[in-house]
A = this chain, B = another copy of it.
Amino acid sequence: MNFLEERIQRDGIVKEGNVLKVDSFLNHQMDIALFQQMGAEFKKRFAGQPINKILTIEASGIGIACIVAEQFHVPVVFAKKSKSINIDGDMYVAEVESFTHKTKNQVIVSRKFLTPEDHVLIIDDFLANGCALQGLISIVSQAGGTVEGIGIAIEKGFQTGGQVIRNLGYHLESLAIVESMDTATGKIVFREQ
């Protein structure tokens, strides 16, 4: 097991409905030293890629993205979630439909901050069905930019998001891929990488 898998094993809590709570170190309270390890690992996995910008989505992607960005010496842009339909023309907009919540949301990024010259690393904390990620990819594509890679902390390997993204040919790296979780025993099985 790598450092993140060990941490999930130790401090993650498996809840009903395939929920994995990691709010003590990843997405409510944030362990910055752990994020630094994640940054170093992503730097290794995306070595040699011409990355000049990191894109993430509010709120829980932001902290990880900023610490990862220190490794790449690039700025971070975070996409905003919006329910409003009155977006002015200065924004890229992606409609994101959540399979889980059966809701539609908009994800927006100012046109000023993504251009055809951008080589983007997308960073997020979780990948499950991949709705948010599809929206981020759509936005880079609208800008004419290039997705050089996608770095995820925890992928739920038993949901379809990761497979779809890999099938589409994207370079997706998830630091921990959960194959299965057992609510009764709390046991978490990770995919061998």
Contacts and interface: CB of A to CB of B under 8 A. Distances in A.
Contacts of A25: 75
A112 B24 contact: yes
A110 interface: yes
B28 A66 contact: no
Interface stretch (A55-63, A140-148, A153-161): A55-63
Copies in the complex: 2
Nearest to A28: B110
A110 B32 CA distance: 18
Contact of A80 (B28, B33, B70, B109): B28
A24 B112 CA distance: 8
Given A67-B66, A80-B59, A75 B23 contact: no
A56 to B, nearest CB: 9
Main SS at interface, chain A: mixed
Nearest to A65: B63
Contacts of A78: 28, 30, 59, 63
A185 to B, nearest CB: 22
Contact of A32 (B28, B31, B76, B109): B76
A29 interface: yes
Interface string A61-90: 011011101100111111010000000000
Interface of A: 23-25, 28-33, 35-36, 58-59, 62-63, 65-67, 69-70, 73-78, 80, 109-110, 112-113
Closest 6 CB pairs of A and B: A58-B59, A63-B66, A62-B62, A29-B113, A59-B59, A30-B76
